Structure 1
Amino acid sequence: MIKNRIFENCLNELSRLPGVGRKTAGRLALHVLKMKQEDVKRLAESIVYLKEKTVFCSVCGGISETAVCSVCEDRYRVRSQICVVEEPKDIFIIENTGSYRGLYHVLGGKISPLDGIGPDELRIASLIERLENGEVTEVIMALNPDVEGETTSIYISRLLKRFPEISVTKIASGVPIGSNLEHTDEVTLLKALEGRIRL
């Protein structure tokens, strides 16, 4: 068996990324070896720059280059709607449908007792704070349609009963149960957003 500590170290680091197993990490590492030196340098610099210059929006929890993201700052967004998602990447997925013009709120996960994640570990308190100004009339739950996502949606909808003026809805079926928004095509997600139902 051929041993190469440098290659093995790169493979180990790449395989720590979500969704990247050892086989994929191996293919990526081999591809990097075939790249031109300036391309490798540009890739490495862009990763470091991403980490150094990107922050989480202080309002919604999405990815931003500034303290408040471009969505939250956009005065043309529909401020009466907040779409609640699990992770910042879900914002990009919904934005790609081109149909939603409201605001977002990133929870940072979902309730999962087996993983030690309860409501206090999520950004639920900051969601409640955002609703207290009376501007929001609809909260759209757009969590992944698995057991934890459904549990989290139900938990939040019960908390929001103290705001009778706010309609709590969730994206309609069409997104298969147990699946992930990341793997849902834009047309299906668009239909799910349009056909949302009350919780």
Structure 2
Amino acid sequence: MTRTSWPAALTALAASALVLLAAAFQQTAGALPFVWRVAELALAGGAAYLIDDAAAQLTTVAPKGPWRRRAPALGAGAALVAGGWLTILAILQWRGARPPLAESSAELVVMCLVAVSAAVLLFRLGDPEPGAIVAPVVVVLGLGLTIVASVVGSPLYLTDADPAPGRVAGWTAAGAVAVLVIVVAGRDGAGEPKRVMRAAAGRV
């Protein structure tokens, strides 16, 4: 396990424990939808830590490309997030409160892509450890969307109701934009090493 995958591992463990605790002590499934939503957002936010590179002042000038450097952390992190999500789904299945598998998993994938894209963009702008910023923002914004959907009475998540074409298109577009940002902002650039090195040096 790489250094940057540890936050994802801890997030997956904490999210699974949170859902298990709620499932064990809730007599009904009433609170479980909110709890698993929080766990889902936490897992997505945890993915942002996989872009962190505390030694960016050294690694950004290494001969390896940025994605070759990040591949071990991203692979381990993806496995940890997937393992945590499968554990959460198994717990919810035990209590008869499991959300639709395809829709909930698609939500998680899109949110992970958005979190990673935001982290890659911040890294490109000079922050060598963007996970600490992106992760809580993902959780707060996700909960904000949950509250807004409840107030206006209109489903925003794929799992809020039967998937409508408009919501499916919106989530698909969000995932596509996130992938585009990752590709563009994550490519090698002449200015990236200097910016990241300056930011990393300023934290020492």
Q: Larger strand proportion, structure 1 or 2? A: 1
Same fold by TM (over 0.5)?
Answer: no
Q: Give the TM-score, by structure 2 length.
A: 0.29
Q: Give the TM-score, by structure 1 length.
A: 0.30
Q: Larger helix proportion, structure 1 or 2? A: 2
